[in-house]
Structure 1
Amino acid sequence: MDKILLMLQLQAGLNEATNGENWTDGITKNGKIINWRRCIYMECAEMIDSFVWKHWKNIDAQADWDNLQIEVIDVWHFIMSLAIENYSQNLKGGVEDLAINISQLNSFNKIDIQSELFAPQNDVIAKVEDIMLCTLSKDALNIEELIEDFFDLVLMSGLDLQSLYKLYVGKNILNQLRQDNGYKDGSYNKMWGAEEDNVVMKRVWEENSELKPDSLYIELTKIYHSFNK
């Protein structure tokens, strides 16, 4: 449960810094409407593009599992945000209550076991589409069911609780760097040389397992500025 709670706390902090302290009301400090459901299904669409699903194009290409895992982390940002908002608006409690309830889900026990296996491509796509259908539904949101489906996807993507946590923390740090370097006004450059910042972050984090989050921020900042002088 500790890792879940920390991720929820980090996400709440990032949302507050980015959107203002009243972000759970569904509107930013600049008056822009927040739609976490749309964020989720749009990221899910990008996730599907990690696979060779088009029958008319690049039919012999291989699935990009590294990109899939990054997209899984992106979706997790938005699912946590939606869950925190849901708990706040429905007076179900704060992040601590949410963390406790998540840790009691059946699928949570499954992701607490190390996994490095990938499910068949079509099975993963079907699970992603289950998540999309949940967020596109006009019915009342069942946030626990959505999280259950997401944890199933975590396992099918070759991830587990530890790798989900580590990649999430890395992406959270990268998101902070983006915000600090002009992401909102469009001046931030996601391409660091020939690679996207997500790819660089994942490699640096994996190759330097002893790095602390603050040190990762410093290292990524150095790399970013080396390409954007």
Structure 2
Amino acid sequence: MLQLQSQLNDATNGEDWVKGLTKDAKEINWRRCIYMECAEMIDSFSWKHWKNIKQEPDWANLQIEVVDVWHFVMSLAIENYSKTLRGGIDELAINISNLESFSKIDIKNDDFASQKKIILKVEDIMRKVLSQEELELEALLADFFDLVVFSGLDLETLYRLYVGKNILNQFRQDHGYKEGTYVKVWAGEEDNVIMKRIWEDNADITPDSLYNELTKLYFSMTKS
């Protein structure tokens, strides 16, 4: 996943993204990316005391948002290792796999925690990335892996959803996302939901086949 994320960042932002700038000299702020996605994640729940108080949580959207945050957590971690001279992707991958917190997600899981417990964990993550202090990367990863478990995911399902979203992100970039011409809602459904359904309905689908299926559906559902 770290390798795929690095390749996606190279393609999207240029190979110097670890220095905090895109190929167009626009500043990259991975911490901000994380807390903004976390805010979207909280909206998977009817947390507002004045609106839709009986609405059920959107568990599918929660899982997609967890994967979105994972994109940015990995990017921040790769950038941090580069800037602090701790090593590259291989060293980062080894160190993450040796964390005690990582072992929590290496157990099959499909149970959701309570809404309150999940939101509190999301807010813990937000506090860490909003802090102006030196990044506590291992603590951030520990909180994120807790969130993975709370969200009914494990290492295998996180990986599958990550690969699916990685392919979707590549597809978006290839079809005008950065230029603002990409259509995100296909016949009334967000592309995230469609991608997730394709993965769930086709357990053995390859990344290339997923990209091709997205291409076929995109043009049939948005260009008619």
TM-score tier by shorter-chain length is over 0.9
Compute the displacement of 1:228 (Å).
2.7
TM-score (norm 1): 0.97
User: 1:9 matched to which residue of 2?
Assistant: 3
In the TM superposition, 1:56-95 aligns within 5 A as: 56-95=50-89
User: 2:34 matched to which residue of 1?
Assistant: 40
How far apart in 1 are the matches of 2:221 and 2:55? 30
Contact 2:101-2:142 within 8 A present in 1 as well: yes
User: 1:115 matched to which residue of 2?
Assistant: 109
What runs of 5+ residues in structure 1 fail to find an aligned partner? 1-6
User: 1:4 matched to which residue of 2?
Assistant: none
Residue 180 of structure 1 aligns with an amino acid whose one-letter code is D
Deviation readout 1:53-106 (Å, 9 max, x if unpaired): 100000111000100000000000000000000000110000000000100111
> Secondary structure of the residue that 2:214 maps to in structure 1?
helix
How far apart in 2 are the matches of 1:46 and 1:91? 33
Aligned residues, how many? Answer: 223
User: 1:157 matched to which residue of 2?
Assistant: 151
Contact 2:13-2:23 within 8 A present in 1 as well: yes
User: 2:163 matched to which residue of 1?
Assistant: 169
How far apart in 2 are the matches of 1:187 and 1:50? 26
User: 2:176 matched to which residue of 1?
Assistant: 182
User: 2:219 matched to which residue of 1?
Assistant: 225
TM-score (norm 2): 0.99
Compute the displacement of 1:184 (Å).
0.4
Compute the displacement of 1:52 (Å).
1.1
How far apart in 2 are the matches of 1:69 and 1:203? 13
How far apart in 2 are the matches of 1:33 and 1:10? 22
RMSD of the TM alignment (CA)? 0.5
What runs of 5+ residues in structure 2 fail to find an aligned partner? none
Partner of residue 203 from structure 2, selected from 195, 209, 219:
209
How far apart in 2 are the matches of 1:226 and 1:176? 19
Q: Does 1:144 align with 2:161?
A: no
Structure 1 moving runs of 4+ over 4 Å: none
> Secondary structure of the residue that 1:139 maps to in structure 2?
coil
> Secondary structure of the residue that 1:39 maps to in structure 2?
helix
How far apart in 2 are the matches of 1:81 and 1:227? 32
Q: Does 1:124 align with 2:118?
A: yes
How far apart in 2 are the matches of 1:208 and 1:221? 16
Q: Does 1:20 align with 2:14?
A: yes
How far apart in 1 are the matches of 2:104 and 2:36? 26
Contact 2:187-2:222 within 8 A present in 1 as well: no
